[in-house]
């Protein structure tokens, strides 16, 4: 097959890799996606899509198509609930209510199986001339050759080829060939748990859970599990997936029907369609860049499906990386800009794993060890209903790049833990605000840097325009006379809609813009 020489080779054509190809194409960068499978894999994982991910879908031009692909009807809802001991327990509370932070994003969250997300992204990618795919080809090795990167692949007929590009990005999953052959080590935090994934059909279970309207996922906390979850999720009406720890040595012929009956709290009719296993561990690459080779998504970090952080983190990886690769390929970036990908994204995942995923497990374990309704019902009930007041786990998950080498000021450390505010803060996501012409500020951002000059800040806009021209950095200026909740007259927003700098003094405009662009 004939391939137009790409600027970037993307190893792995799942949702993250395909999303990266779209982002690059919309920035004028040609890519080649190499995917070992020829069809979308029908495993219903990666379902919980955050508001930030849906903003990315809007930027990629496929938000409406993705929402239309959702298999669960709107009346079913996409919320979650935590229950004690069994799925039919009288003890339950709403959990992971991501809608509670909708106001800080331009579009609501969504829920649908990863294979549907991937289909929508593939359809969108097919509309863009700068994207080519090689499906059914397996990558053998990747290599940094100094002035370019090389990828050796094997085709479905045994054909072996070596391809070249300026950069290679591995989006090829937790067993990443890009990471292992590209010289990027990883560290593991092993929980020594064998996990089972079941996909099954049961209309009876759907009917049994009608008393939980608006709920799409159910998290059972059983003291025997020591804080590890027994988790049910809807795929469609009557279709489900389930994951939980099982004993070492458990095989596909285990009586999973009886296990599900026990966890639910009563027998019900079901048909199991898929059984899979994996080891529960948290893994993170020691660095996300090795010269011309990068990793993103599960190739960079993997973890148990606790809280829906995996696919969302992967999408944010490529939103962060795409504009930096484009800037360098188009002659207005630097090695420092490329290095900032690791400096920003790796600490965020380390915080996600520590402060959220592993914290959930430890906190649930401590609760179950300390409280038992059979021992002290009043104390248990008081502690149980206090556990999730205010949806703290949602409000506190606010990935940010404070202290990044390309935001100012330099204080702080990139983290997944933060708080949601409308005030514009360096290193934080830009929350939407209405402008005086009726438009949303978020809709005025785009593929390049954007300067919001608000009120008296309009007088300082020319200093940034001059600096941008001198540095060769594309800059869009949005002027507005009215006040906003941003609490700053000047706000410099990056191409990934994170704030690079906010203030009112333009005397250092050139230094501010140079830092944000990595120059």
State whether 431 and 326 are in the same domain: no
Segment 27-46 mean pLDDT: 90
State whether 23 and 144 are in the same domain: yes
Residue bearing tokens 């070492």: 248
State whether 110 and 230 are in the same domain: yes
**DSSP 8-state assignment for residue 303:** -
The strand pairing partners of 243, in sequence order, are 197, 231
Segment 75-95 mean pLDDT: 89
Model confidence pLDDT, tens digit, residues 275-317:
999 888 889 999 999 999 999 999 999 887 777 788 999 999 9
Instruction: Check pLDDT > 70 for residue 391.
Output: no
The strand pairing partners of 415, in sequence order, are 400
Looking at residue 213, its pLDDT comes to 87
Gap between the Cα atoms of 373 and 362, Å rounded: 20
Asked whether residue 356 is assigned to any structural domain, the reply reads no
State whether 331 and 431 are in the same domain: no
> Are the CB atoms for 80 and 87 separated by under 8 Å?
no
State whether 22 and 142 are in the same domain: yes
Confidence category of residue 78, pLDDT binned at 50, 70, 90? confident
Residue 90's contacts (CB-CB under 8 Å, 6 or more residues apart) are none
Output phi, psi for 136, to 5 deg.
Answer: 85, 5
Closest C-alpha to 413, from 349, 348, 336: 348
Which of these three, 270, 304, 336, is where a domain ends? 336
DSSP states of 375-389: T-HHHHHHHHHHTTT
Asked whether residue 146 is assigned to any structural domain, the reply reads yes
Residue bearing tokens 């997936």: 241
In angstroms, the first-to-last Cα distance of the chain is 39
Name the residue with higher pLDDT: 247 or 191: 247
- Residue 184 is part of which domain span? 1-336
Model confidence pLDDT, tens digit, residues 470-507:
999 999 999 999 778 999 999 999 999 999 999 998 88
Looking at residue 372, its pLDDT comes to 94
Mean pLDDT over the full length of the chain: 93
Looking at residue 385, its pLDDT comes to 87
State whether 448 and 326 are in the same domain: no
Q: What percent of the chain has pLDDT over 90?
A: 79
> Are the CB atoms for 398 and 419 separated by under 8 Å?
yes
Gap between the Cα atoms of 116 and 169, Å rounded: 23
State whether 317 and 432 are in the same domain: no
Read off the CATH number of the domain in which 452 is found: 3.40.30.120
Gap between the Cα atoms of 19 and 25, Å rounded: 10
Name the residue with higher pLDDT: 188 or 166: 166
Asked whether residue 28 is assigned to any structural domain, the reply reads yes
State whether 321 and 195 are in the same domain: yes
Residue bearing tokens 């969108």: 124
Gap between the Cα atoms of 498 and 485, Å rounded: 16
Q: How many domains does the chain have?
A: 2
Residue 335's contacts (CB-CB under 8 Å, 6 or more residues apart) are none
The count of other CB atoms within 10 Å of the CB of residue 237 is 12
Which of these three, 336, 362, 386, is where a domain ends? 336
Which of these three, 336, 367, 382, is where a domain ends? 336
Asked whether residue 412 is assigned to any structural domain, the reply reads no
Asked whether residue 499 is assigned to any structural domain, the reply reads yes
Looking at residue 36, its pLDDT comes to 95
Closest C-alpha to 500, from 480, 517, 485, 484: 517
Confidence category of residue 80, pLDDT binned at 50, 70, 90? confident
Distance of CA 477 to the CA centre of its chain: 29
Asked whether residue 357 is assigned to any structural domain, the reply reads no
Read off the CATH number of the domain in which 312 is found: 3.50.50.60
Instruction: Check pLDDT > 70 for residue 390.
Output: no
Asked whether residue 362 is assigned to any structural domain, the reply reads no
Looking at residue 261, its pLDDT comes to 98
> Are the CB atoms for 400 and 500 separated by under 8 Å?
no
> Are the CB atoms for 109 and 51 separated by under 8 Å?
yes
Gap between the Cα atoms of 290 and 302, Å rounded: 19
Instruction: Check pLDDT > 80 for residue 212.
Output: yes
Residue 86's contacts (CB-CB under 8 Å, 6 or more residues apart) are 220, 222, 262, 263, 264, 265
Asked whether residue 414 is assigned to any structural domain, the reply reads no
């Amino acid at each position: 097959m004939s391939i137009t020489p790409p600027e970037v080779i993307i190893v792995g054509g799942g949702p993250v890799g395909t999303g990266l190809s779209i982002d690059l194409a919309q920035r004028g960068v040609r890519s080649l996606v190499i995917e070992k499978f020829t069809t979308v894999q029908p495993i219903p994982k990666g379902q919980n899509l955050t508001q930030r991910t849906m903003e990315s879908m809007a930027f990629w031009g496929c938000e409406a198509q993705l929402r239309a692909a959702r298999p669960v009807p709107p009346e079913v809802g996409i919320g979650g609930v935590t229950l004690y001991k069994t799925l039919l327990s009288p003890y339950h509370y709403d959990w992971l209510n991501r809608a509670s932070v909708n106001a800080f994003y331009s579009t609501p969250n969504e829920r649908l199986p990863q294979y549907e997300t991937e289909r929508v992204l593939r359809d969108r990618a097919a509309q863009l001339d700068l994207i080519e795919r090689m499906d059914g080809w397996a990558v053998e090795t990747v290599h940094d050759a100094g002035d370019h990167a090389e990828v050796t692949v094997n085709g479905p007929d045994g054909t072996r080829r070596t391809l070249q590009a300026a950069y290679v990005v591995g989006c090829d999953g937790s067993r990443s060939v890009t990471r292992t052959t590209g010289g990027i080590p990883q560290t593991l935090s092993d929980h020594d748990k064998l996990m089972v994934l079941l996909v099954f059909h049961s209309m009876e279970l759907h009917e049994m859970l009608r008393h939980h309207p608006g709920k799409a996922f159910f998290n059972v906390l059983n003291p025997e599990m020591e804080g590890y979850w027994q988790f049910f999720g809807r795929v469609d009406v009557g279709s489900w997936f389930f994951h939980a720890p099982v004993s070492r040595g458990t095989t596909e012929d285990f009586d999973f029907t009886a296990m599900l009956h026990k966890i639910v709290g009563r027998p019900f009719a079901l048909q199991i369609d898929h059984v899979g296993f994996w080891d529960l561990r948290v893994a993170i690459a020691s660095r996300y860049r090795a010269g011309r080779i990068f990793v993103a998504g599960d190739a960079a970090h993997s973890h148990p499906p606790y809280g829906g952080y995996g696919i969302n983190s992967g999408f944010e990886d490529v939103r962060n990386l795409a504009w930096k690769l484009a800037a360098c390929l188009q002659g207005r970036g630097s090695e420092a800009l490329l290095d900032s990908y690791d400096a920003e994204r790796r600490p965020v995942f380390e915080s996600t794993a520590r402060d959220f995923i592993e914290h959930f497990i430890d906190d649930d374990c401590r609760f179950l060890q300390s409280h038992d309704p059979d021992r002290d019902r009043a104390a248990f009930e008081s502690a149980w209903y206090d556990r999730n007041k205010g949806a703290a786990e949602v409000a506190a998950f606010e990935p940010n790049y404070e202290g990044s080498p390309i935001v100012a000021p330099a204080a702080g450390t990139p983290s997944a833990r933060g708080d949601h505010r409308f005030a514009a803060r360096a290193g934080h996501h830009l929350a939407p605000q209405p402008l005086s012409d009726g438009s949303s500020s978020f809709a005025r951002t785009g593929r390049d840097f954007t300067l919001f000059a608000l009120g008296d800040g309009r007088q300082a806009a020319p200093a940034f325009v001059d600096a941008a021209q001198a540095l060769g950095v594309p800059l869009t200026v949005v002027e507005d006379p009215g006040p906003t909740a941003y609490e700053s007259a000047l706000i410099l927003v990056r191409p990934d809609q994170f704030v690079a700098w906010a203030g009112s003094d333009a005397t250092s405009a050139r230094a501010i813009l140079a830092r944000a662009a990595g120059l």
